[in-house]
Amino acid sequence: MSTPRRLLLVNGPNLNLLGIREPEIYGHETLADVERIVTDAAAARGVEVTAVQSNHEGVLLDAIHDARTTCAGIVINPGGLTHTSVVLRDALAGVALPVAEVHISNVAEREKFRHHSYVADVAVVHVTGEGVAGYARATTLLLDVISGSAEG
């Protein structure tokens, strides 16, 4: 069976407020900008993107579960679920797809509760603190891992 030529882009709670919420931390780009950045980076490699954003954890879990048969990997910014959701981590581990974890801000330089990521141990790519441009780098690095031209 051939590898699916699709990535799942997952954005967690509150990322629908990009461009509005705390622009001094997250910038002025919107969720639509993020989706375009990832879609363009993937398209340059002949890969399509399915994007999902939700403020409801179950919606994200369902999308991750569905990706196991339709996608080659997952680019995810779990938002606040990064620091709280074992369930999200288990879903990512359970589908056994390569994962790129993205954070717009440098979470290691923020509040102490943001320093731990439940997703970190299941992700093969980590990009933090590069603004929304980090999504393009995460996508490219993940595609390198998937294609075998880089190790995760």
- Catalytic one of 26, 56, 65, 126: 26
Ligand-binding site membership of 25 (annotated)? no
Ligand-binding site membership of 40 (annotated)? no
Angle (deg, nearest 10), helices 86-95 and 57-67: 10
- Catalytic one of 103, 115, 118, 135: 103
Identify any residues that bridge with 74 across adjacent strands, giving them in sequence order. Answer: 8, 99
Ligand-binding site membership of 104 (annotated)? yes
Ligand-binding site membership of 90 (annotated)? yes
> Of 73, 80, 74, nearest to 118 (Cα)?
80
DSSP element (H, E) containing 142: helix 133-147
Angle (deg, nearest 10), helices 133-147 and 31-43: 30
Residue with tokens 């705390």: 22
Ligand-binding site membership of 114 (annotated)? yes
Ligand-binding site membership of 106 (annotated)? no
118 belongs to the catalytic site: no
In terms of C-beta density within 10 A (0-12 exposed, 13-18 middle, 19 or more buried), how is residue 37 classed? Answer: buried
26 belongs to the catalytic site: yes
Active site residues: 26, 103
Annotated binding site for substrate: 77, 83, 90, 104-105, 114
Annotated binding site: 77, 83, 90, 104-105, 114
